[in-house]
Structure 1
Amino acid sequence: MKKIFLSLSLACALVTLGGCEKDLDQTPISNGSVPDFYKTAADFDQAMSAVYSSLRGYPDREVILSELRSDNMFAVSSIGSRDWDPVNNFSAALLVVNPYVADAWASDYSTIFRANTMLAQLAENGAVTGSLRTRYEGEAKFIRAFMYFDLVRKFGRVPVIDKPLIPQDVAKIGRSEVSAVYNLIEDDLKAAINALPAAYTASGVGSTSGVGRVTNGAAKGMLALMYLTKSGPNYGIDGPGLASNEYGKANTLLDELINRTGTPVSAAYSLQSSYANIFSPTNENNSEVLFDIQYISNGLGTLGSSFMNVVVPDIYYTSPTLLALPFSAGSVEIKPVSNDLNNVSYDTTRTRRDLRRAVNIQQGYTNAGTTDPRPFYKKYLNVAAKGTSRTDWGTNFIVLRYTDILMMKAECEVRNVGGSAASAAARLTPIRTRAGQPAFTTLTLETLMEERRREFAGENLRWNDLMRSGLALTTMNAWASREDPTTLPNGQRRDYKIVRPIPAELLLYPVPQVELSSAPGVYTQNNGY
């Protein structure tokens, strides 16, 4: 099995943009270095790995900007001024200058730059030909589409840049309409479907061929999700929902994945028998995985995952009475799972206990006589994948899996596209059985979204699910009243943390202030900021 990663030296030689870059800079600092790099097929192979490697921080950003923002977490910090507090609280003024928001914009465009450079060099350079060139084009277009899909769901209108540009030219490009962003995503994913193989083997084309690269099945699944998202309501904002009613297009792609039909035919995906086994580091790239971000703990903290460092309090895995990992001491801060998810959504009765809850959530901890009962995510926490630091875990992060394909198909069916509420309920039966839960007899959109909430807790899907389904405002405002009350159980009064009511304008993130300042007059800010 091969993991897709890139050494730090190669990353610096290829492109100097990184996750902490704070503007939409579409060219490397070392002028002329990129074209000179692409001389041989091996160079292209390393460059393709560089495109993959730029996804390393994606799960870390998503848990803050998607999972934490949803009703799955109520993560007010103990001091009330951590960078994630404004995300949790929908604090408009602070989000404009929030480093997580700025990093999402800059990091996505950094990855887009790498993909654009790869595509431009493939078009101009004859070092790679035939099926290998076709495959590289498919991989680069998939990742470019993936990043634009992330941008449009967070910010709505964004600049569309489909080739590597110098900073002076980038500074002239304003934000495109959402429909134009979707046109690029759709074109790229359709091209990727036709260009990518169903699966890889160690003997396939390319020196880095192997498990971990994107496939046509991943492209089909991502395109189906795009159609569902685009078909969602617009909430009166320039957001990802265009009410385009493209559920039929999504349903066709999902049927092809489930039934292994269509051209090209995708790999055979299937459910794992055990929920916990999906996320085990000893069972990576299993039959349920369509697309994941690959990590390897290399002892340097440069190729491993830092996702655990975001969701698990440091003291939990450094304490000698808990996991006893030899990491340096850090913060005791917890980003708690919401009471609503932990104790209301999951069935915790003895006879019908939902098996997913124990896999997903740690119910607090006791250390040195001190108990913190607050729950937090532990889904990807496995000592077998540890490296040498809190930011060096070897477990891959799954972005798209087969359960999601089945549930997206059920989403079409509850809308009477490709089936009915009854067939949607039946489709979820093996998923419910695996969780130790009884089958549904019928299904509504609201029930389906709550089931997705339990299934994908900690996988950073909940916020986008709420937006796509049209339930974001009603669900979040009702939840905030329960989770963030002004009267505590002891009768004490306090100010609420989350904005009341959450307005539609704040369903989008703002254009980061650093981007507005870097191109004065080019970008307009989203309403509400």
Structure 2
Amino acid sequence: MKTYRLLYRTTFLLISGLLISCTDLDEQLRSELEQGVTNVSTADLLIGAYSALNTPYQQEQRWVLEEISTDAAMAPTRGGDWDDNGVHRAIHLHTWNADNSYMNGTFNNLLAAQFQASNVLRNEPTPQQAAEARFIRALSMYDVLNLWGVVPYRDDLEDYRKNPTTMQTQEAIDFIANELNAIMNDLPSGGEAYVANKNAARTLLMKLYLNKGTFLNRENPTFDAADMNQVITLANAVTASGEYSISAPGKYFDNFAPNNDVVSTENIFTLYNEFGVRGGSVDRTWNTIAHYNMTPGGWNGWCTLSDFYDLFDEGDERLGIAYDYPADTMDNPGNRRNVGFFVGQQYNLETDEPLMARNPSSQPLVFTPEVTLRTSGNTLETAGIRVMKYAFDYGVPSGQRNNDWVVFRYADVLLMQAEAILRGGNGSEADARALVNSIRENRSVEPLATLTLDNLLDERGRELYWEGWRRQDLIRFGKFLEPWQEKPTDAGPHTLVYPIPSQQIAVNPNLTQNPGY
């Protein structure tokens, strides 16, 4: 249950978070902040650090870079809607440049989280507060490394006239690993998933070791057996904690429900969302995909691609169900899907009347598997299968919804463990396959007879769709440069990292543009 341990106001932090950015700030503001913060408690500062993760993570900036750039998601231009000077098309086509607004926003906000976490450390935190702050900092640094291959880092928080230094790949890997190992004993063993904990640190370390060889050589990744055994050891520690189990059949969407802080058996680390208190834009999970005439109306935008949808077996619970949860006030007399993939005729979930499009209003609202990067005519409003992973919180009249945003969960731990075994860690193919099948049996699909890297990648797609890991997976499995629906073969391997935003390079001489941009 959510507690008031974390419910503090942090209005000051919107200003202090700007300091990690490389943009110019007013000199008076610099002077005030260099004198230190005296009117905000350490607990407030820590909440600000947690909250700084909301914008990049909750189906916004980082999420767009990780999902819209892949075969799992697309933001098609619908006539004049969703054009935005081609920013979404460029991400899906891998034709981005250093002026892409999503990249600049993600870069800024991940570094803002880094700053806010570091700021906690100079305000006399308790050992646990310091450990939580260092975890947040390590997580934000990990994602900058993941997306750009280097990590700007400000060691001196006293003199903001000094530009952040730039950690190269190996240095950043070592720093993050050392931080997570150093804080392990001071993190809580369990409790609320929205509080950094030992298993969250273990999961982040798993991702670091699993992707280490990829970060060092993205075009030709290597997987050291010692790193893979680290992944396996950490996974066994998460399992041995006894905190988690794979959701029972029919309960997959508990992990994403408005009360997921209570009912999920898988969530390891989440971002806190509570109506009337604080949180991020979890509403975007509905708004970006829902048609105007659905309840509530959305922005009629993003979708998945039919080839990705076809990875699923018929009857796979992850495709979607009529999910019954406390915040669902709709009668749903037709027992229609209200979570998962929306395809075909859509219905009013209160009356079960078929919905119609808006323009033309005579056209049934039938979401089609066929979709192009630019839609027009009769397909303008209906092209593309829509994806709704977070059950809509009808219990809140407006504003902040209560679904906590999932960053790490237990199914991912087991899938990473299986992959580490296949990539040379201790264990057999049968051991790895048993881990994967322990998930599949609770998703109402047949067990796999054999496990290969190819069908493991497919399984990660099915299990973790739209959770913000698809790009990283495709790169690690050597698939990111290949063509897929509405995307040709990449022009070159430079797209395996994003360009450092030009705004940042212009003001920080310690940043050098990534090759190829």
What secondary structure is seen at the aligned counterpart in 2 of 1:292?
strand
Residues 336-355 of structure 1: pairs in structure 2 closer than 5 A: 336-342=303-309, 344-348=310-314, 353-355=315-317
Residues 161-200 of structure 1: pairs in structure 2 closer than 5 A: 161-170=154-163, 173=165, 175-200=166-191
**Aligned equivalents of 1:314 and 1:69: distance in 2?**
17
Paired letter, 1:217: N
Structure-2 residue corresponding to 1:159: 152
Paired letter, 2:243: A
The answer as to whether partners of 1:290 and 1:401 remain within 8 angstroms in 2 is: yes
Structure-2 residue corresponding to 1:500: 489
Paired letter, 1:291: F
Select the residue among 469, 472, 484 that pairs with 2:477: 469
Select the residue among 496, 502, 506 that pairs with 1:513: 502
Q: Does 1:272 align with 2:270?
A: no
The answer as to whether partners of 1:410 and 1:424 remain within 8 angstroms in 2 is: yes
**Aligned equivalents of 2:235 and 2:119: distance in 1?**
31
Paired letter, 1:363: V
Paired letter, 2:9: S
Select the residue among 248, 262, 275 that pairs with 1:297: 275
Q: Does 1:90 align with 2:94?
A: yes
What secondary structure is seen at the aligned counterpart in 1 of 2:260?
coil
Residues 382-421 of structure 1: pairs in structure 2 closer than 5 A: 382-384=392-394, 386-389=396-399, 392-421=400-429
Deviations 1:269-325 (A, max 9, x none): 112212122222123253211101111222xxx834324326644763x53xx3146
Residues 418-497 of structure 1: pairs in structure 2 closer than 5 A: 418-473=426-481, 477-479=482-484, 483-484=485-486
For the structure 1 residues 447 and 214, does the alpha-carbon distance in structure 2 shift closer, same or farther, using more than 3 Å as the test?
same
Paired letter, 2:236: D
**Aligned equivalents of 1:464 and 1:11: distance in 2?**
30
The answer as to whether partners of 1:5 and 1:294 remain within 8 angstroms in 2 is: no
Measured after TM superposition, the shift of residue 248 of structure 1 is: 1.4
Structure-2 residue corresponding to 1:494: none
Paired letter, 1:511: I
Q: Which runs of 4+ in 1 moved over 6 A?
A: 24-28
For the structure 1 residues 305 and 120, does the alpha-carbon distance in structure 2 shift closer, same or farther, using more than 3 Å as the test?
closer
For the structure 1 residues 454 and 502, does the alpha-carbon distance in structure 2 shift closer, same or farther, using more than 3 Å as the test?
farther
For the structure 1 residues 426 and 16, does the alpha-carbon distance in structure 2 shift closer, same or farther, using more than 3 Å as the test?
closer
Deviations 1:246-271 (A, max 9, x none): 111111111111233xxxxxx52112
The answer as to whether partners of 2:224 and 2:424 remain within 8 angstroms in 1 is: no
Paired letter, 1:516: I
What secondary structure is seen at the aligned counterpart in 1 of 2:162?
helix
Residues 33-182 of structure 1: pairs in structure 2 closer than 5 A: 33=33, 36-38=36-38, 43-57=41-55, 58-59=57-58, 60-78=60-78, 79=80, 80=83, 81-92=85-96, 95-122=97-124, 133-170=126-163, 173=165, 175-182=166-173
Structure-1 residue corresponding to 2:329: none
Deviations 1:489-527 (A, max 9, x none): xxxxxxxxx3533421111100001011112x4322111
For the structure 1 residues 24 and 242, does the alpha-carbon distance in structure 2 shift closer, same or farther, using more than 3 Å as the test?
farther
Measured after TM superposition, the shift of residue 62 of structure 1 is: 2.7
Measured after TM superposition, the shift of residue 35 of structure 1 is: 5.7
Select the residue among 385, 388, 395 that pairs with 1:378: 388
Structure-2 residue corresponding to 1:214: 196
**Aligned equivalents of 1:244 and 1:513: distance in 2?**
35
For the structure 1 residues 384 and 191, does the alpha-carbon distance in structure 2 shift closer, same or farther, using more than 3 Å as the test?
farther
Percent identity, aligned pairs only, is: 22
Q: Does 1:256 align with 2:237?
A: yes
Measured after TM superposition, the shift of residue 360 of structure 1 is: 2.5
What secondary structure is seen at the aligned counterpart in 2 of 1:377?
strand
The answer as to whether partners of 2:289 and 2:387 remain within 8 angstroms in 1 is: no
For the structure 1 residues 335 and 502, does the alpha-carbon distance in structure 2 shift closer, same or farther, using more than 3 Å as the test?
farther
**Aligned equivalents of 2:27 and 2:177: distance in 1?**
25
Measured after TM superposition, the shift of residue 169 of structure 1 is: 0.5
Structure-2 residue corresponding to 1:487: none
Select the residue among 283, 298, 311 that pairs with 1:308: 283
**Aligned equivalents of 1:499 and 1:528: distance in 2?**
18
The answer as to whether partners of 1:212 and 1:294 remain within 8 angstroms in 2 is: yes
Measured after TM superposition, the shift of residue 226 of structure 1 is: 0.7
TM-score normalised per structure 2 = 0.81
**Aligned equivalents of 1:218 and 1:212: distance in 2?**
10
Select the residue among 206, 211, 223 that pairs with 1:224: 206
Deviations 1:321-369 (A, max 9, x none): x3146xxxx743x111011111x20123xxxx21111242222644344
Measured after TM superposition, the shift of residue 160 of structure 1 is: 2.9
User: RMSD of the TM alignment (CA)?
Assistant: 2.9
What secondary structure is seen at the aligned counterpart in 2 of 1:345?
coil
What secondary structure is seen at the aligned counterpart in 1 of 2:448?
coil
Select the residue among 279, 288, 294 that pairs with 2:266: 288
**Aligned equivalents of 1:369 and 1:192: distance in 2?**
60
The answer as to whether partners of 2:273 and 2:404 remain within 8 angstroms in 1 is: yes
Gaps of 5+ in 2: 321-338, 347-354, 366-381
Q: Does 1:247 align with 2:228?
A: yes
The answer as to whether partners of 1:18 and 1:107 remain within 8 angstroms in 2 is: no
What secondary structure is seen at the aligned counterpart in 2 of 1:184?
helix
Worse-matched range after superposition: 499-508 or 59-68: 499-508
